[in-house]
Structures are given as C-alpha cells and as structure tokens.
C-alpha cells in the first residue's frame, strides 16, 4: 500500500466539522430518511374531515328517513310460505312499489318472516303502514312500521 497513517489523518483533518454552528431552519438535516405516512407536508386531507354528502332535508328532521329512491317500510310476521307476489299484491294498492325484498333462509328456502318495501313517496308508505299494520296475510298477522328513522338531533362535539 502506498498510504501511510499520516496521510489518512491529514484527510480527516480536512473534513473537520464545527458542531456548534447553527443550521438554518428551512434546511433539512442530511441524517436518516424517515419512511412512512405523515412524514412530509401533505395537504390531501386538510380541511376535508367529516364532510359528507347528504340528502336534502324535507321536513322538521323527525320521523322516517328517506332512502335514495324513496321511503322504506318493514313488514314483520310474513308467513314462511308467502311468495313475493302475495306481498306485492297486498301492498300495491297503497302506491307504486319501487322495491321489494323478501329474504329467504338459505338452508330451508322459506321466507325469514320479514320484508322490506320501498315506496316513492312518504304518503304512500304511511298509507301502507296504517292500512296493513295488524292485518292478516296468509292467516298470519303482520306488523308494519318504518324501517329507518332519522337519528335524534344532538349538538355536535368539536
């Protein structure tokens, strides 16, 4: 080797650093690079927390909640051998049914005992509730009510 210990020592003296010297605040230290989220300045989420789309308010804020297409009622006490047509015919006289879900038990194939019916207007759904609650369908008494209610208004915590 052509190097001797003294020439290496001279090179180290040339790289002498003053550690008491102040580093400007805008200059990032050349130390370890931090990995992961939140390490760099990122405004993707700034000011967007808690802002969601909502449906327009249609009344005083109490009562049934409006779904995307209309108002949903739940019918419980549906006979296990009832067909979709039986339920549709019984409730169609109160208005135009937008959607009807009659859920079946996977194991038995029979109706689980409840149905969801969606009407376009609140008046139609309300008429169906008043007209069919307590009535019999296939010799079984039905219980009809609103499927979804609006939550009570609370003061929002900030």
Q: Please classify residue 74 by burial: count the beta carbons closer than 10 Å to its beta carbon, then call 0-12 exposed, 13-18 middle and 19+ buried.
A: middle
* Distance (Å, whole) CA 8 – CA 40: 39
**pLDDT the model gives residue 66:** 85
Q: What is the pLDDT of residues 27-62, one digit of tens each?
A: 655 666 666 665 666 555 555 555 666 656 655 566
Q: What is the pLDDT of residues 62-104, one digit of tens each?
A: 678 888 889 999 999 999 999 999 999 999 999 999 999 999 9
**pLDDT the model gives residue 151:** 75
**pLDDT the model gives residue 108:** 93
Per-chain mean pLDDT for the chain: 78
> The pTM is what?
0.59
- 8 Å CB contact between 129 and 74: no
| pLDDT tier at 150, thresholds 50, 70, 90 | confident
DSSP, residue by residue, the chain: ----HHHHHHHHHHT---TTSPPPTTSPPSSPPP-STTSS---TTTT-TT----PPP-SSS-SBPB-SSSEEEEEE---TT--HHHHHHHHHTTS-EEEEEEEE-TTT-SEEEEEEEEESSHHHHHHHHHHHTT-EETTEE-EEEES-BPPPP-PPP-
Which of 91, 63, 97, 77 minimizes the C-alpha distance to 143?
77
**pLDDT the model gives residue 148:** 87
Q: Which two tokens stand for residue 143?
A: 């219980």
């Amino acid at each position: 080797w052509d190097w001797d210990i003294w020439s290496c020592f001279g090179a180290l003296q040339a790289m002498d650093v003053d550690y008491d010297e102040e580093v400007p605040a805008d200059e990032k230290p050349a130390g370890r690079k931090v990995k992961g989220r939140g390490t760099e300045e990122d405004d993707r989420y700034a000011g967007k927390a808690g802002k969601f789309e909502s449906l327009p308010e249609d009344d005083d804020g109490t009562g049934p909640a409006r779904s995307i297409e209309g108002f949903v009622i739940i019918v419980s006490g549906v006979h296990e051998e009832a067909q979709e047509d039986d339920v549709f015919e019984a409730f169609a006289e109160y208005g135009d049914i937008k959607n009807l879900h009659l859920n079946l038990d996977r194991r038995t194939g029979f109706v689980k005992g409840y149905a969801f019916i969606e009407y376009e207007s609140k008046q139609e759904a309300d008429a169906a509730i008043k007209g069919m609650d307590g009535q019999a369908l296939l010799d079984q008494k039905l219980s009809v009510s609103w499927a979804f209610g609006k939550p009570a208004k609370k003061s929002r915590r900030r």
